[in-house]
């Protein structure tokens, strides 16, 4: 009996009942807030659904916040409210400032998942209707039914980690966009320079650079001399001297390969090249600045992560500082959670199920739902992929599920659930990751699981 649920919503539901037990429904009220960028829509109603204060707007300034607090305090006094909930959607970053100030004034600030608000509208036969008042009603309904979660803002080093991780993610996206634009320039200046692996039977020269964006020679080449007409007319020693003049390495063999490649390129006309060259140089300067921003973010992430519980995760092969920081940014302080399951539910990374009566397929054939925190979900998937590649305990578990017929996506989700439990426990207990095999021997990390067969693990640190 000790492990069985005492409430259909588990511990969260039991805590909710403890707050409202013995309180009359008309003395339980909810402040529903529909968050916008420059203003917020507010409505106050009780647990019976009776509107105590019709919807009104407040601005995002101090005057709007003070007006909101005045209305709330007057309503609490007038209707003798004993339990007050404040519910809102976590809309982008627009809700954060308001939620932080409200939490200092009121005890129960709750966040309602945006997808849950949409589904609540659908349940009310309002699938094609969306207004601020309808959203306010849905937010209030979900809050009063405890279909929400407490607002627990990050603080201290956890907040620094989160902001630098978000900053890095944005700059990495920007870097990808710039690389794509630069590739477009190069396709017009030197066709075939940036391309995937060479396919046999298509003719043409072999691929010049194995990994274009990671090759220093390739990066120097497109900055110093991307024009194939000029390259084809150069001698190897001239190209070597050009590289050496800019403190870049270049050997005779590589110089001959580059020149030979340029001679086989179907040259664009000179005007096309001349038009594109300044655009290429401009984007290369932007890319250099973005690369520097990513490098700075990496340094800041490592420094702030070292001051959090997440530092212990960086000692696991396959995780690293960036992946560990993304996970820490998604969950914050592990002390905010009672168990790892709460973290996993927040991610929304769960396999769908459609079981009823004698039909018990346990999720077979159902898609993976994605209705939680997208940042946490992405962090979990990334860290799971790293663990599957470098840690036999997780890699073999995922492979075993696939051998049993599980779809790869479902197997990754199941492995992510296991990984989340382990990572959460390591952060909470500040202990080392020591998985054991069937015989109780420690499983050492390997360089890669690809093409290798290891003993199947049966236990891990939890």
Categorize the per-residue pLDDT at 460 as very low, low, confident or very high, splitting at 50, 70 and 90: very low
Pair 349, 416: CB distance under 8 Å:
yes
Mean confidence (pLDDT) of the chain: 87
The torsion angles phi and psi of 458, rounded to 5 degrees, stand at: -125, -10
The CA-based angle 396-398-403, given to 5 degrees, is 90
pLDDT at 268 > cutoff 50: yes
Mean pLDDT of 71-91: 95
Compare 67 and 14 and report the one with higher pLDDT. Answer: 67
Using DSSP's 3-state secondary structure scheme, residue 359 falls into: strand
Residue 360 has what pLDDT? Answer: 55
Distance CA 117, CA 139 (A): 6
8-13 contact pairs (CB < 8 A, 24+): 9/146, 11/338, 12/146, 12/149, 12/342, 13/146
Categorize the per-residue pLDDT at 366 as very low, low, confident or very high, splitting at 50, 70 and 90: low
Categorize the per-residue pLDDT at 4 as very low, low, confident or very high, splitting at 50, 70 and 90: low
DSSP 190: S
Pair 384, 415: CB distance under 8 Å:
yes
The two structure tokens encoding residue 378? 């992405």
Categorize the per-residue pLDDT at 34 as very low, low, confident or very high, splitting at 50, 70 and 90: very high
Residue 458 has what pLDDT? Answer: 40
The torsion angles phi and psi of 342, rounded to 5 degrees, stand at: -65, -35
3-state percent breakdown (helix, strand, coil) of the chain, nearest 5? 55, 10, 35
Rg (CA), the chain: 29
Compare 349 and 444 and report the one with higher pLDDT. Answer: 349
Topology of domain 10-150, per CATH? Nucleotidyltransferase; domain 5 (3.30.420)
183-232 confidence digits (pLDDT tens): 999 999 999 999 776 565 566 778 889 889 999 999 999 999 999 999 99
Of 287, 297, 371, 281, give the one whose Cα is nearest residue 329: 297
Torsion, Cα of 206, 211, 216, 219 (10° steps): 80
Give residue for tokens 């627009």: 94
Compare 339 and 169 and report the one with higher pLDDT. Answer: 169
DSSP 20-85: HTT--GGGEEEEEEEE-SSEEEEEEEETTS-EEEEEEEEESSHHHHHHHHHHHHHHHHHHT-SEEE
277-334 confidence digits (pLDDT tens): 999 999 999 999 999 999 999 999 999 999 999 999 999 999 999 999 999 999 999 9
- Lowest mean pLDDT, pick from 292-301, 345-354, 357-366: 357-366
Domain layout of the chain by residue ranges: 10-150, 170-297, 309-354+361-459
108-146 confidence digits (pLDDT tens): 999 998 878 888 777 765 555 567 788 999 999 999 999
Report strand pairing: 51-59 vs 109-111: unpaired
Categorize the per-residue pLDDT at 364 as very low, low, confident or very high, splitting at 50, 70 and 90: low
Residue 445 has what pLDDT? Answer: 56
The two structure tokens encoding residue 350? 């769960």
What's the Cα-to-Cα distance from 139 to each of 53, 107, 133, 175, 263, rounded to whole Å?
15, 18, 10, 38, 66
Residue 113 has what pLDDT? Answer: 85
DSSP 421-437: HHHHHHHHHT-----EE
What pTM was computed for the model? 0.81
């Amino acid at each position: 009996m000790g492990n069985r649920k005492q409430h259909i919503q588990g511990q969260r539901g039991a805590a909710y009942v403890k707050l409202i037990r013995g309180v009359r429904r008309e003395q339980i009220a909810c402040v529903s807030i529909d968050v916008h960028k420059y203003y917020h829509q507010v409505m106050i109603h009780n647990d019976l659904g009776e509107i105590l204060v019709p919807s009104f707007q407040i601005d995002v300034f101090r005057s709007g916040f003070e007006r909101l607090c005045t209305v709330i305090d007057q309503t609490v006094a007038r209707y003798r409210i004993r339990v007050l909930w404040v519910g809102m959607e976590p809309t982008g970053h627009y809700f954060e400032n308001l939620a932080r100030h409200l939490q200092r004034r009121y005890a129960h600030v709750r966040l309602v998942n945006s997808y849950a608000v949409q589904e609540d509208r659908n349940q009310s036969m309002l699938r094609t209707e969306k207004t601020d008042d309808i959203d306010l009603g849905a937010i209030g309904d979900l809050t009063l039914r405890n279909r929400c979660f407490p607002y627990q803002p990050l603080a201290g080093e956890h907040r620094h980690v989160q902001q630098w991780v978000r900053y890095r993610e944005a700059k990495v996206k920007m870097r990808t966009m710039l690389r794509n634009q630069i590739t477009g320039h190069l396709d017009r200046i030197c066709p075939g320079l940036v391309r995937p692996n060479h396919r046999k039977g298509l003719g043409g020269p072999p691929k010049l650079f194995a990994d274009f964006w990671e090759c220093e020679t390739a990066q120097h080449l497109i900055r110093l001399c991307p024009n194939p007409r000029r390259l084809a007319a150069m001698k190897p020693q001239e190209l070597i001297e050009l590289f050496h003049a800019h403190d870049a390495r270049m050997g005779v063999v590589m110089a001959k390969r580059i020149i030979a490649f340029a001679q086989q390129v179907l040259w664009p006309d000179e005007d096309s090249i001349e038009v594109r060259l300044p655009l290429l140089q401009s984007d290369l300067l932007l890319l250099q600045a973005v690369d520097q921003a990513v490098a700075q973010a990496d340094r800041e992430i490592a420094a702030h992560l070292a001051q959090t519980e997440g530092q212990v995760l960086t000692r696991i092969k396959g995780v690293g500082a960036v992946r560990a920081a993304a996970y820490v940014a998604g969950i914050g302080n592990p002390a905010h959670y009672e168990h790892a399951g709460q973290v996993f539910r927040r991610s929304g990374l769960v396999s769908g199920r459609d079981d009823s009566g004698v039909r018990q397929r346990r999720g077979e054939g159902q898609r993976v739902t994605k209705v939680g925190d997208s940042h946490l979900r992405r962090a979990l998937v990334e860290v799971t992929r790293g663990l599957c590649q470098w840690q036999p305990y997780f890699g073999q578990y995922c492979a075993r599920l696939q051998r049993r017929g599980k779809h790869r996506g479902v197997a990754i989700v199941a492995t992510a659930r296991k990984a989340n439990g382990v990572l959460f426990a390591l952060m909470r207990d500040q202990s080392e990751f020591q998985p054991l095999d069937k015989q109780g021997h420690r499983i050492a990390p390997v360089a890669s699981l690809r093409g290798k067969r290891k003993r199947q693990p049966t236990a891990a640190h939890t």
